[in-house]
Amino acid sequence: MAAKAKWTILTYIAAHNNIQYYGKRSYDQIIGVGSTPKVVQGILFDWPDGAARYITACPGGVVKQEQLGDYDSADPDSLIKNAQWVFGQYPAEHYGLILWSHGSGWRPEEIEEIASKIRHDTQVDEQEARSRSSTTGSRAFFRSTLQTILKKERATDRAICFDDGSGHSLDTIELERVTREIANSIGQKIDLIGMDACLMGNIEVAYQLRNNVEYMVASEELVPGQSWPYDIIFGELQNTPDLQSGDLSELIVSEYLHYYKNHPPVFGNGDITKIALDLSKTNTFITSMKELAETLIANMKEAIHYLEKAQTDTYIVETSEESRVSNKFNFHLWDIKSVVRHLGKNIQHEKIKSAANNVIETFDKCGLVVRSEHMGEWFDNIGGLSVYLIAPKRNKQRHISDYYPDLAFSKDAKWYDLLMAYDYNQIS
Cα 351 from Cα 339, distance rounded (Å): 17
The amino acid sitting at 142 is F
Collapsing DSSP states into helix, strand and coil, what is residue 13?
A: strand
DSSP string, 359-390: HHHHHHHSS-EEEEEEESGGGTT--S-EEE-P
Residue 211 to residues 261, 278, 279: CA-CA distances in angstroms?
A: 34, 12, 8
Helical (H) or strand (E) element with 386? strand 386-388
pLDDT of residue 203: 98
Q: What is the 8-class DSSP label of residue 72?
A: -
pLDDT of residue 149: 86
pLDDT along the chain (428 residues), means of 10: 87 79 91 96 91 91 90 91 96 97 66 74 70 61 86 83 84 96 98 92 97 96 87 97 98 96 75 94 98 98 96 91 71 92 96 98 98 91 95 80 95 97 84
Give me the residue spans of the domains in the chain.
5-104+168-279, 282-367+383-427
Cα 10 from Cα 418, distance rounded (Å): 38
Cα 194 from Cα 252, distance rounded (Å): 9
Residue 178: how many other CB atoms lie within 10 Å: 23
pLDDT of residue 137: 45
Q: Residue 69's beta-bridge partner residues?
A: 51
Cα 128 from Cα 161, distance rounded (Å): 14
Residue 332 to residues 149, 199, 320, 398, 423: CA-CA distances in angstroms?
A: 17, 11, 18, 12, 15
Residue 69 to residues 13, 33, 99: CA-CA distances in angstroms?
A: 15, 25, 20
| Burial call 149-172: b when 16+ CB within 10 Å, e when fewer | bbebeeeeebbbbbbbbbbbbbbb
Q: What is the 8-class DSSP label of residue 280?
A: G
**Contact yes or no for 209/176 (Cβ under 8 A):** yes
Collapsing DSSP states into helix, strand and coil, what is residue 326?
A: coil
- Topology of the domain covering 5-104+168-279: Rossmann fold (3.40.50)
**Contact yes or no for 186/95 (Cβ under 8 A):** yes
pLDDT of residue 395: 66
The amino acid sitting at 154 is R
**Contact yes or no for 100/200 (Cβ under 8 A):** no
Cα 204 from Cα 201, distance rounded (Å): 9
Closest CA relative to residue 203, chosen from 104, 293, 109: 293
414 CB-near residues (< 8 Å, 6+ apart)? 290, 293, 294, 297
Helical (H) or strand (E) element with 85? helix 76-89
Cα 415 from Cα 292, distance rounded (Å): 9
The amino acid sitting at 167 is G
Determine phi and psi for 204, rounding to 5 degrees.
Answer: -60, -45
